[in-house]
Amino acid sequence: MRIIVTGANRGIGRALVETASARGDAVTGTTRGTPERAGWLRLDVTDPGSVRAMAEAFGTAPLDLLVCNAGVYIDKGEDLASGYPAGAWAATFAVNVTGVFLTVQALLPNLRAGKGKVAIVSSRMGSQALAPGGSYIYRASKAAAVNLGRNLAADLRPEGIAVGIYHPGWVRTDMGGAGADVAAGDAARGLMARFDALSLATTGCYEDWQGQAIPL
């Protein structure tokens, strides 16, 4: 398969690239900084010009799978009474929501050419049914990403493009922390299995890396 993974320079993104590459897929990773590997592309999902430039650099090749993995979690541990500044809301939504939409939009011709799939790496923290409080910005952004994915699934299904939304687990990365319970490689292998299983019959699914459905 021909795959693009955004936010591939570390954590889950890097593990996804390594997992897909090891099985023979043609994987293009993106990073905000200087691409560290041949064939990778520079991409700042918050910059529409950068998104357009990435798509132009990728070219017209059909795309089998777009993994929208780039994300931020900058309000961890904030206090309700004094935290969650407006700038943090804007910065988080720019990456976790708008960035996903812009990336899908820019690569839509490639996805159409390949009858490809879109995998949005969200979080169970976006579930409205599972809402224990706290992390308001991150939770709201991931809930918006779920909503975005569900609507994209509805609009793209007639074109043969399936869309899935996924929780990678609590993964031991810079974001998840050393106390997390899932290794990045295990999460990546589980996610790739879910991406492989995604079809028009399951488009719009919201599930974890082990295939368990997450309540909206």
**128 Cβ contact list (under 8 Å, min separation 6):** 143, 216
8 burial level (CB within 10 Å; 0-12, 13-18, 19+)? buried
Write down the catalytic residue from 73, 84, 138, 166.
Answer: 138
Name the token pair of 67.
């993994």
> Is 138 annotated in the active site?
yes
Q: Which residues of 92-124 are buried (b: 16+ CB within 10 A; e: fewer)?
A: bbbbbbbbbbbbbebbbebbeebebbbbbbbbb
Question: CA-based angle 107:169:96, to the nearest 5?
Answer: 40
Residues designated as active site: 138
